[in-house]
Amino acid sequence: MTRMAVKRLFLFYLAPEFTMLAFTSALETLRLANQVIGTDVYDWRIVARDRNPVTASCGLSITPDLSLAEARSLPAQPSTLDMVVVCAGRNVQTHLDKSLDTWLRECRTKKLPIGAICTGSYLLANAGLLTDKRCTIHWENYPSFSEAFSEALPSSQIYEVDDRIYTCAGGISSLDMMLHIVFEHHGADVARDICQLAIIGSVRHRSERQRLPLSLAQDIKNRAMKAAIELMEENIAETLPLNIIADRIGISRRQMERQFQSNTGCTPRVFYQKLRVQRAKSLLEQTGMPVIDVAVACGFASSSHFAKVYRTNEGRSPLETRKPKRPKGILPSSAALSA
């Protein structure tokens, strides 16, 4: 068999409330690869906990080809199984499955590449596969993920690759991740041809960052401003002095003040505070962390100061932000419906 003719089987595990856009973007990349190459070098099967239809966050359902038990019985050989990809979305913390954890660990032991789409990274981390591994997850779930899995190394990039573990943020970033995998298998020409068929301008590198809400709303284009905001986003629990941020991005404190005022309508201090409040809001909505722990995780010295700043920004108290309590033992989640 020639290299181009090697058949590669991908198994896509669908968790309940998975994000359809992210899943189909990944699947379509493989279909388009077959079209470009001119033969079915990629094959795929849909896996779920059992053979019952799995409902996506949009309400549509997909009937799986294999149950989890049937997938576990497949031989892990290149000619039989090439990669396992876990797809999740809303309320991922309520869809944990010990059988899935066991299967993922078995796949890792057999040295199979493993992928995660959208909040699928949460499922990989829950199975213990992301310890000391670079990974990513949808920005909406980043705060709760970071608090739940301190041993992982999450970033805000659109996708990450570390030791044959592939994770992406969801949305169309799953297409970027799968294009990277196709590139590894078949080269740049095939990846470019897929982009042409999908009417995509260019292949995004994994180092491209997710555009977080405040950055997106302000549509910041200035490089120094972007660098400053990135430093702020990466240093929420232990805030950086503004002088240090200015030094690191290579401009004076006064220049940074002027640029923030011109581009955002507020000072760097206020903008930094908004980022911290935004992180706190996510933790309040997605986790059961005590308010004082949320305050500390977002760089506030006391719960009283945190409550005052939070109310000023959000118009309500931290406790009022809490969603209705779920049954005991189940962590709440805001669910990442990828844009």
Q: What is the pTM of this model?
A: 0.75
Model pLDDT, residue 329: 39
Integer Cα distance of 76 and 81 in angstroms: 5
> How does 85-98 read in b/e, with b if 16+ C-beta sit within 10 Å?
bbbbbbbbbbbebe
- At residue 1 the predicted structure's pLDDT band, cuts being 50, 70 and 90, is very low
The confidence score (pLDDT) of residue 84 equals 97
Inform me whether the pLDDT recorded for 27 exceeds 80: yes
pLDDT at 335: 36
Which range has the worst mean pLDDT, 27-36, 122-131, 139-148, 214-223?
A: 214-223
Mean pLDDT score, 136-156: 90
243-261 pLDDT tens trace: 999 999 999 999 999 999 8
Amino acid at 126: N
Is the pLDDT assigned to residue 212 strictly greater than 90? Answer: no
What pLDDT is recorded for position 168?
96
Tell me the average pLDDT of the chain: 87
Contacts of 23 (CB under 8 A, 6+ apart): 12, 14, 56, 87, 117, 174
Q: What is the pLDDT of residues 271-309, one digit of tens each?
A: 999 999 988 998 888 778 899 999 999 999 898 999 999
Give the domains, in start order, of the chain with CATH numbers: 3-197 (3.40.50.880), 213-321 (1.10.10.60)
Distance CA 187, CA 202 (A): 15
Q: Which residue has the higher pLDDT, 146 or 15?
A: 15
pLDDT for 141: 87
Residue 216's closest CA among 339, 112, 107, 302? 339
Give the H or E element holding residue 109: helix 98-109
Is the predicted pLDDT of residue 336 greater than 90, yes or no? no
pLDDT for 148 beyond 60 = yes
Report the range of poorest mean pLDDT among 143-157, 188-202, 203-217.
Answer: 203-217
pLDDT digits (tens, 9 = 90+) for 76-134: 554 568 999 999 999 999 999 999 999 999 999 999 999 999 999 999 999 999 999 99
